[in-house]
Structure 1
């Protein structure tokens, strides 16, 4: 598959998942009544939004102007890394970290790799792939982790709005 086609489909899929998540959250208003519920629902929202934004920037910059996708991937990945680590810290402090939440550092690591690759795209040359192909692989992993996060969130008891 052409990388440009991949990123077009990828970003459209991510924004579709953002919209579906909004619909799910609307049906579970109790999630938004506690700080923990808002934090977790917002974390899932970002798990789909940030990769979608990177996919859009990859389409805008592409191979013609790699500076656009490189800078945007670094900035968005740093936001993703920071927000993921913050969510990890808060969920551990609250004692409500499920299996994924305990291993959310994996997503932070992937965001860090995305940022590093944006700064130094030549590091993938020995792998025989283009930097945008390597970034695509990392974004796929992020979305797979986001689905794991949704599954964990949806299969746990709803947060108690009184706590």
Structure 2
């Protein structure tokens, strides 16, 4: 698959996932009741939305690498900043699944994309172009977003609902 097709599929998939996330939240409105869970909901939203935005920009003019490098870098900086803020805000004790405990990986992946935007030639060390390496990183972001969404929708921090067995 060529990269233009890949990014078209990723972008469409991510925006579909944003819509599905909104539908899931419509069924779990209590997730919007507290500031803590609203932030977690927003973190999942951004982890679906931002890769979709990067996919759109990757298709604008693949012949001009400066465009994808700049837009990916800016979008990834926003994602990293948002993720690391969320990690700090989500430091209270409670039930945290493996994706939530390792949310820092989302921030690291965004930083990898920033580095690829600044120095895409680094990807050549593993036999890839910068845009190909960014594509693999975007796939990892979407997979982590799925895990975060699953955990948020299937776990609770309410001690009355936690089974100690």
The alignment's TM-score, normalised by the length of structure 1, stands at 0.92
Contact 2:113–2:137 (Cα < 8 Å) also in 1: yes
Q: Pick closer, same or farther for the CA change 1:5–1:85 going to 2, 3 Å.
A: same
Paired with 1:86 and 1:10, the residues of 2 have a C-alpha distance of 26
Paired with 1:9 and 1:37, the residues of 2 have a C-alpha distance of 30
Contact 1:30–1:158 (Cα < 8 Å) also in 2: no
How many residues of Structure 1 are paired with residues of Structure 2 in the alignment?
Answer: 158
Unpaired runs of 5+ residues, structure 2, are 160-165
> Deviating runs (4+, > 4 A) in structure 1?
none
Contact 1:74–1:118 (Cα < 8 Å) also in 2: yes
Partner of 1:47: 47
Partner of 1:2: 2
Unpaired runs of 5+ residues, structure 1, are none
Q: Pick closer, same or farther for the CA change 1:70–1:155 going to 2, 3 Å.
A: same
Contact 2:100–2:148 (Cα < 8 Å) also in 1: yes
Shift of 1:61: 3.1
Residue 129, structure 1, aligned to residue 163, structure 2:
no
Partner of 2:110: 111
Residue 32, structure 1, aligned to residue 29, structure 2:
no
Q: For each residue in 1:24-76, what CA deviation from the matched residue of structure 2 results, as whole angstroms up to 9, or x when unmatched?
A: 111111111110121111111001000100111111131x1111110001101
